Structure formats: structure tokens, C-alpha cells
Structure 1
Amino acid sequence: MSKIIAVMANSVEDIEYSFPAQALKDAGHSVTLVGAQANEKLTGKHGTEFTTDKGIDDINFDDYDALLIPGGFSPDNLRSDDRFVKLAKKFLLTDKPVFSICHGPQLLIQTGLVKGRTLTSYETVQTDLYYAGGIVKDEPVVIDRHLITSRTPDDLEAFNEAIVNELA
């Protein structure tokens, strides 16, 4: 089965990590939570505590099949760290699956690779995607090759179905 990297910083939208990660695990995939450091304690917007499995410097890109970027304020924190930007860029350039929900596409914008891609996000990020050259749709799930994006926690059921199907 597939190995997925989930990237996270503090103030993630708790359910946008936990619900997709559980759906992926239930489908037989493994999810590695990656932060700035291994064994880092992170707190979600709603108080859930998460502990990273690995630090960004501890991973080997070739060992992973897909990237999960949950939303909340986490992607805004991650995009100021060039290591996470480079990781997202590498996934996009190699056309490996990228799953991004809510504010998650903020990290993708930072790669400079959204121009011409069709995607969605939380409504306040949609304008940023547009100005970065993205083709923005206001739909629960948007699939552009192996890039799957979604808008909000309300869309998680459809998002989870799409990402599990992508790896099937």
C-alpha cells in the first residue's frame, strides 16, 4: 500500500488531518506526520494534540507516494519554511499525488506551480489561487491529474473518498 507524508505545524484544523489520515489508514495506507522536528508536540486549532513522527530533515522523498496538506493556520506557518515548500514542489513536479484541503493550497501557492492548475480551497484562499494563476472552482472536491483539493471540513467525506480512490 501507499506511504503518505502529512505535513503539519501548530494551529492545524484538527479534523482536516485526523479524518483523512484515518480514512487512508482504514484503506491500508500508512501516514507519517512530519513537522519541523521529530517528536514535536503540535496543537490543533481546537486543542487536539499531535506528535510528529519525523522531522522534515529526516525524510527521504523517494520513500513516499503522496502528500497530505491539512488546513487551518498550519499551511501559512509551513510556507515560511523553505524545506516544506521544496517538498511540496517536488511532489508537484514529479506528479505524485498531493491532497490539500481548506488553507492547504497556501503551501502550494508558495511553490510557484499552481499556474494553469485547476483547484479549490477555503473561500479566502481562492483569490490568492486566482492571482497565482490557478483555475479556481468552488466545488467540494477538485481533481487535476494527481492534485486533489477541497474547501472546508464540510467537504471531508467527499475529499476522503477522492484521496482513497486516487491511491486504489
Structure 2
Amino acid sequence: MSKKIACLITDMFEDSEYTEPAKAFVEAGHTVTTIEKEKGKTITGKQEEASITVDESIDAVRPEDFDALFIPGGFSPDLLREDGRFVNFAKSFMDEKKPVFAICHGPQLLITARTLEGRSATGYKSIKVDMEYAGANYKDEEVVVCGNQLVTSRQPDDIPAFSREALQLLK
């Protein structure tokens, strides 16, 4: 069954951490909707290998319109977490126990949303301490699945495992 996946993203995302999982989701029959401050804006990855046109504005979407949340890494999550609209959007998925897929620096949005306490998760090594302070049980593993809801990975090398486990959760 096809699922609707919200993707919170802005400039300076880690190119492959968006493009590869998004491609896997679409190939499996799911829909990925990119969400930023401005619909129609073109955003560019930090490697400048990928640019995408934003599908929707954060003001035009509601968490209840989606089945899952995808947060690619890079600098994008850090830029988004200064805006409470994105933090609250992510928090809603965690509170409602909907699937959340966060890779690399993606968990920064979940830290700001105060939703990692007591959960097993991973992320890029530079945010390990932040995740621990947020109450996460940090694991240095290519993919960590917590409670049939949260899928996290550390870096681009982990994308195949990340995509595999995210797709498994969408079944």
C-alpha cells in the first residue's frame, strides 16, 4: 500500500541522504513530498550535486496528511530547527508514533522537539553528545530501529541499511 512521506528539507541538505532514500521510497510506490518555508523554491544540496524544487510550504501542510516523516542530514536540519513550525511538525510524528526516518544530522530536529528521551537512536558522530543529553540511548551502528517507529542512521555509507529498514517499516 502506498504511503505519503513528508520530507522536511532546506538548502545545504546532504545530497545523497535525500536523493537515494527518496528514490527507494518512490520506486517502492510511495510518495515523497518535500516541505520547506516556501513552495516552489529551488534548494541545493551542500555537495551541489542535487537541487530540488520544494513541493509544499510548511504553512500549507499538516502532519495528519502524511503517513511518515523523512529528515535527511547535512546542514538542513540545523537550519530548520530554528523555526518552531518544523520542530512542531516533527514532534507531531513522534508523539503520534508514526514512522520517522532521520539520517546523519536529521535527529537534530528531534532533539529540538524533545522527542528522543528513552529511545534508541544513532546519528552523525558530532551530534552523539547532543543526542545523549536529549536522553537518547545512542548506538554507533549503521541503522537503529526503535519501537517499530524510529529509523536512524549515521552517514551516507549507511544509506542502503537506512532505506531498507525504512521501507520495511512502511509495509
User: What TM-score bracket applies, with the shorter chain setting the length?
Assistant: over 0.9
- Structure 1: runs of 5 or more not aligned: none
Structure 1 match to 2:111: 109
Structure 2 match to 1:25: 26
Write out aligned runs for 1:84-163 (5 A). Answer: 84-145=86-147, 146-163=149-166
| Cα distance in structure 1, aligned partners of 2:19 and 2:41 | 17
The alignment-based identity, stated in percent, is 46
Write out aligned runs for 1:48-87 (5 A). Answer: 48-87=50-89
Structure 1 match to 2:13: 12
| Cα distance in structure 2, aligned partners of 1:106 and 1:31 | 21
Q: CA deviation at 1:37?
A: 1.1
Q: Which amino acid aligns with 2:137?
A: I
| Cα distance in structure 1, aligned partners of 2:115 and 2:7 | 19
Q: Deviations over 1:129-167 (max 9, x none)?
A: 001111000000001120000000000000010011110
- Structure 2: runs of 5 or more not aligned: none
Give the aligned length. 168
Q: CA deviation at 1:60?
A: 2.3
Q: Which amino acid aligns with 2:166?
A: I
TM-score (norm 2): 0.97
| Cα distance in structure 2, aligned partners of 1:113 and 1:164 | 22
| Corresponding position: 1:41 with 2:51 | no
Q: CA deviation at 1:76?
A: 0.3
Give 3-state SS (helix, strand or coil) of 1:103's partner.
Answer: coil
Q: CA deviation at 1:123?
A: 0.3
C-alpha contact (below 8 Å) 2:5/2:67 kept by paired residues: yes
| Cα distance in structure 1, aligned partners of 2:18 and 2:25 | 11
| Cα distance in structure 2, aligned partners of 1:159 and 1:115 | 21
| Cα distance in structure 2, aligned partners of 1:156 and 1:62 | 27
| Cα distance in structure 2, aligned partners of 1:91 and 1:61 | 7
Say what the alpha-carbon RMSD is for the aligned residues: 0.6
Give 3-state SS (helix, strand or coil) of 1:68's partner.
Answer: strand
Give 3-state SS (helix, strand or coil) of 2:94's partner.
Answer: helix
